[in-house]
Amino acid sequence: MIKLNRRIAALKPSATMAAETRATELKAAGVDVISLAAGEPDFDTPERIKEAARRALAAGQTKYTPVAGTRELKEAIRLKLKRDNGLDYEIAEIMASAGGKQAEANIIAALFDEGDEVIIPTPAWVSFVAMVNLSGARATLVECPEGNGFTLDPERLRRAITPRTRGIILNSPSNPTGAVYSASQLGELAKILLEAGLWVLSDDVYEHIAYDGAAPHLFQIEPRLKAKGFALNSLSKAYAMTGWRIGFAAGPKEAIAAASRLQGQNSGNPNSITQIAAIEALTGPQDEILAMREEFRRRRQLVVERVRKIPGFSLPHVPGGAFYVFPNISALIGTHLDGRAVADGNAFADLILDAAQVAIVGGNDFGAPHHVRLSYATSIDNLNAAFDRIERVVAKLQR
Ligand code: PLP
């Protein structure tokens, strides 16, 4: 075995990407797999955005750009943050990256160090813990109980803060739970965060997929948090642009400059054509967002109904955002099928892939091993067929 860097050696593959890759491989081998694993909209990128990219390509805009994005792109991001979130940023406070993931990884790497603790309310997106570990800091997982709608209880937050705590990562609407924090919940958390003086990373990637009105922004609820806050976002979900790789971070100048230096050394600017497409996405007509959200809303209703009919699945709260459901499957733990035991969410997901040819993601790597994540970013027909298959397999499980 070769000797790897200690932190890289400990790095696990992303569970969501692994599930999606397995589904793709099986499909390529001719297996009729329905995937409810992917974290990406099934819609095509809107035509006006593709057209902007074609124009950029024809005009030869294929060279390096400034590392943190062109001035025009940063202007478009600035406009977006003002228009959608009521937040004022300067150009020097903005960095564009190859996806929200890269923006977040670079900010986390720039801010945190060995000996630091970073609070991550769980269930949480699989990459947050990995990014914090890579920085050398330690992730402090704070459980958000299902009974609390998977949101962070202020008392638990208070108890998790130690003299070593330097930051927190919040994500609303949440991947994987779909939980959306209300303005009053954010207000409660803001008081504690302000007092503790932590870096506050707000992952707003699913902001436009909120079903009960706009998801409130933490820095709008408590503007004083903005001085130590980062608005982290991506065009992947809002504009169906996952493959284009464009996201951004907005926050205090010095930290943005540090993260940009890191980006300059380890990758460079986000794709030049994508940057031009992103300007069109952010500044052009925004009606596609609404159309996609309404389609997701229709699917959410179907998925909630179908999940609740499966014996052993429990889904007490209708998720308020994103395009995932995160049912509890505790009642199925300890059952088995043909000698294969359902030991946890991951084992159940593996069984469902093999026996039902439906790809879902086990909850283990989200910090919730008695849950599974199902994405409804696929057609109603696919969803119905997937649930028919899952029901048939669950009916065969034995104690
Ligand atoms: N943050 C959350 C919560 C996500 O679910 C994702 C993608 O799944 C991202 C960030 C990163 O998105 P991207 O790198 O595609 O912009």
Domains in the chain (CATH in brackets) are: 6-44+288-396 (3.90.1150.10), 47-283 (3.40.640.10)
Strands 372-375 vs 361-362: parallel, antiparallel or unpaired? antiparallel
Give the tens place of pLDDT for each residue, 305-326: 999 999 999 999 999 999 999 9
- Residue 185 Cα to ligand 1 midpoint, Å, equals 23
3-state secondary structure of 256: helix
Contact 383, 303 (CB under 8 A): yes
Question: CB of 201 closer than 6 A to ligand 1?
Answer: no
Q: Where are the alpha helices (DSSP H) in the chain?
A: 6-9, 15-28, 47-58, 71-85, 100-111, 126-135, 154-160, 183-196, 218-221, 253-266, 272-283, 287-309, 345-356, 380-396
Share of the chain above pLDDT 90, in %: 95
Expressed in percent and rounded to 5, the helix, strand and coil fractions of the chain are 50, 15, 35
Cα–Cα distance for residue pair 343/96, rounded to 1 Å = 42
What's the pLDDT score for residue 20?
A: 82
Instruction: Give the tens place of pLDDT for each residue, 60-104.
Output: 999 999 999 999 999 999 999 999 999 999 999 999 999 999 999
Task: Give pLDDT, residue 63.
Answer: 98
- pLDDT tens for each residue of 128-164: 999 999 999 999 999 999 999 999 999 999 999 999 9
Confidence of residue 271 (pLDDT cuts 50, 70, 90): very high
pLDDT (average), residues 270-290: 97
What's residue 138's pLDDT?
97
Mean pLDDT across 112-132: 97
Residue 100 CB less than 6 A away from ligand 1? yes
Tell the residue nearest (CA) to atom 5 of ligand 1.
175
pLDDT value at 369 more than 90: yes
Single pTM value for the model? 0.96
Mutate to test the pocket of ligand 1, among 106, 172, 237 (most ligand atoms within 8 A of CB): 237
Task: Report which protein residue has its CA nearest ligand 1's atom 12.
Answer: 100
In the structure, what pLDDT confidence band is assigned to residue 166 with cuts at 50, 70 and 90? very high
Q: How confident is the model at residue 13 (pLDDT cuts 50, 70, 90)?
A: confident
**Whether residue 324 has its Cβ less than 6 Å from ligand 1:** no
Report the mean per-residue pLDDT for the chain.
Answer: 96
Q: Report whether pLDDT(18) > 90.
A: no
CB-ligand 1 contact for 41 (6 Å cutoff): no
Q: How far is residue 114 from each of residues 57, 146, 159, 161, measured CA to CA in Å?
A: 43, 32, 21, 17
Could you tell me the distance, in angstroms and rounded to a whole number, from the CA of residue 332 to the centre of ligand 1? 30
Q: How confident is the model at residue 12 (pLDDT cuts 50, 70, 90)?
A: confident
Q: How many Cα atoms occupy the beta-carbon half-sphere of 119 within 13 Å?
A: 29
Q: Report residue 328: phi and psi, to 5°.
A: -90, 130
- pLDDT for res 21: 86
Cis omega (within 30 of 0) for bond into 216: no
Query: What letters, b where the CB count within 10 A reaches 16 and e where it falls short, cover 187-220?
Result: ebbbebbeebebbbbbbbbbbbbbbeeebbbbbe
pLDDT of res. 19: 81
- pLDDT computed for residue 23 by the predictor: 87
User: What is the torsional sign of CA 95, 98, 104, 105?
Assistant: negative
17 pLDDT above the threshold of 90: no
Residue nearest to atom 8 of ligand 1 (CA): 39
Ligand 1 pocket: which of 122, 125, 326 to mutate (most atoms <8 Å of CB)?
A: 125
Predicted local distance difference test score (pLDDT) of residue 200: 98
DSSP-derived 3-state class of residue 247: strand
